[in-house]
Amino acid sequence: MNDYNSFNQVILVGRIGSDPELKKSKGKKPQYFVRFSIATYQKYASGTKITTWTQCSYWGEKSAKWAAEYVKKGMMILVKGRLDTRSWTDINGQKKSITDVKANEMVFMGPASMIKMDNKEELAAQDAGEDIPYMEEEVTEEESKGTTEEDEDLF
């Protein structure tokens, strides 16, 4: 099998777990990004509902600033991107890794009244050429936990 048969694309539709926070990467060429979680769920015939939390990031100065301003906790959103796994060693010498979705497109799925964006195409075109740097950021214990009672309000 050759590498041309490989494909890495993720599409999620769910609710934002918390307001995205605007951050700036460290390094020679710092870039703006936001990190957020999205809750998706699977409902079974028995009525059981399982919530899955997926960590996502959205890179590029204009895109990240747009997301930080307009994307809010509880909004229904479609995220398109690719899976990315990073590994690092923490200060205690423990090897850590995380897999998240590097988003390259976000689309509001809720009512039009929730959407306050004027220049989506312009933002996407301007950020399309930017490389996505790798971050060595540890996920907190709270971010890695499953559904809580507060999460149930999202659905």
CA dihedral 89, 92, 94, 98 (to 10 degrees): -60
Q: In the block, which residue shows the tokens 């933002």?
A: 123
135 falls within a domain: yes
3 falls within a domain: no
The string of DSSP letters for 61-74 reads: HHHHHHHHHH--TT
List the domain range (segments joined by +) for residue 137: 8-154
Residue 19: which CATH number? 2.40.50.140
Domain count, the chain: 1
2 falls within a domain: no
1 falls within a domain: no
141 falls within a domain: yes
Burial class (CB in 10 A: 0-12, 13-18, 19+), 48: exposed
Per-residue pLDDT tens digits of the chain, which is 155 residues long: 566 778 899 999 999 999 999 999 888 888 999 999 999 998 888 989 999 999 999 999 999 999 999 899 999 999 999 999 989 899 999 999 989 999 999 988 876 545 554 444 444 444 444 443 333 334 344 434 444 444 444 44
Q: The pTM is what?
A: 0.66
Beta strand pairing call for 21-24 and 49-59: unpaired
126 falls within a domain: yes
The count of residues in the chain is: 155
146 falls within a domain: yes
37 falls within a domain: yes
